[in-house]
Amino acid sequence: MFKHAIVRKPGENFAEGLTTSDLGTPDYKMMMDQHNAYVITLQSLGLEVHILQPLAQYPDAYFVEDVAVVTPEIAVITNPGARERAGEVRHIEPILSSFRSIASIESPGTLDGGDVMQAGDHFYIGVSERTNEEGAKQLGQILNRYGYQWETVSVSGGLHLKSAVSYVGRNTLLISESLANLRPFANFEKILVDADETYAANSLLVNERIIMPDGFPRTREKLRTVGFNIIELETSEMRKMDGGLSCMSLRF
């Protein structure tokens, strides 16, 4: 069960961040409304939410998941694969160090937290445009010290591994068809996300509830049919910035 979450408020210049989306110009007020709803939801599920202030020099910094990987034993500060985001890590370490011992990914390794999916004591690390083999290896070696297993997964499409797959408990993955047949995921039950609802694959398991983006009715019905309890949140503005629900918090 998660007890804490760390989030960072989006800055007024959040729309200047990195994105490949063509969904239109993000709106700051709408973004703040959606971010506030996200925080309230985490609080309603029993988490103490630690809210950090915006970093004007880093418009993507509210995607805090990318700058750390947190387990019960250790917080690993990442080395983001986008050069523009590298400076964010020094701003997350102070608060994490009040909860966990700290380890770090060092160059030439790169690692984004969005490429790291935990399922029980096993970690799946996406090798993507943002995370390289060296970064994955460094994280894996740190995790091994605490009894975790790990393996890499090649990410051929989408920004991060968790853009297309989420662990939702019960040995089950919410997963896009592009990843469903990969060997690392062979022993999981799978809920396939339709091609036109791939964005919904980035959903979030928090204390026995699934937080999923609003507007994906077939995915919602598939989850409900097998008994998952769902909360839907509007994510239009973060989606315009290539972000999803998991991106906006560190949960531990």
Which residue numbers are catalytic?
160, 247
Query: Are 189 and 172 contacting, i.e. CB atoms less than 8 angstroms apart?
Result: yes
- The whole-angstrom separation of Cα 248 and Cα 62 is 6
Work out the burial of residue 147: count CB atoms within 10 Å of its CB; fewer than 13 is exposed, 13-18 middle, 19 or more buried.
exposed
The secondary structure of 47-93 as a DSSP string is PEEEEEPP-TT-TTTT-GGGGEEE-SSEEEE-B-SSGGGGGGHHHHH
- The whole-angstrom separation of Cα 96 and Cα 131 is 21
Residue 92: count other Cβ atoms within 10 Å of its Cβ: 22
Residue 172: count other Cβ atoms within 10 Å of its Cβ: 18
Residue position matching structure tokens 């047949």: 181
- The whole-angstrom separation of Cα 62 and Cα 41 is 17
Query: Are 197 and 219 contacting, i.e. CB atoms less than 8 angstroms apart?
Result: yes
Residue 152: count other Cβ atoms within 10 Å of its Cβ: 19
Residue 44: count other Cβ atoms within 10 Å of its Cβ: 12
Structure-derived torsion over alpha carbons of residues 24, 28, 30, 34, reported in degrees to the nearest 10: 110
